[in-house]
Amino acid sequence: MRALAGCVAAALALAACRSEVGSGVASGGASASSTAIARPPDRRSADAPELALVAPLAPGARLVDYEVVRIEGALRGAMRVVCAKGRGVVRLDLAIVAEEGPAPAATAGRYAIFWGAHNAPLDEADALAKALAEVVKNNGSAPVPAGLAPFVPRPPPSAL
């Protein structure tokens, strides 16, 4: 019984980790608009100042040839734009440029854009980051949303 409980706990931990990295895209070729991509529980929807920075992007809009699935508010200094195409998911994190931080995929004035990809080609993720940078450049007069800060890498949370 104790071994069964341990297996169940391990399976639940693995499922939680998988959903956090964006594997919530259903198989079978479903489109992003008809597929729920699980939002991590610590993420909230973007507020008006955050949306102004990425306007006119909104859920359902196109960025390159991906669909914007969700725009999330700032968490640990970065807001996120989640894009999907087929089974591919690209998470674009928008933060303040850090002079001594890691090199971003793209920049737009004071903003740095980083990406994470799941089942998506790396060159497409890079193209999405550059396209988002162009959108942000067009909104350069928008005030810096509260909660955005320089990107500081953190180790991933432990799965145990």
SS3 for 135? Answer: helix
Among 110-114, 121-125, 150-154, which stretch is predicted with the lowest mean pLDDT?
A: 150-154
Per-domain residue ranges of the chain: 2-138
Tokens of 158: 């432990």
The Cα–Cα gap between 50 and 142 comes to 9
Digit-coded pLDDT (tens) for 123-143: 999 999 999 999 999 998 999
* Structure confidence at residue 151 (pLDDT): 85
Give the pTM: 0.73
Instruction: Determine whether 139 is exposed, middle or buried from the number of CB atoms within 10 Å of its CB (0-12, 13-18, 19+).
Output: middle
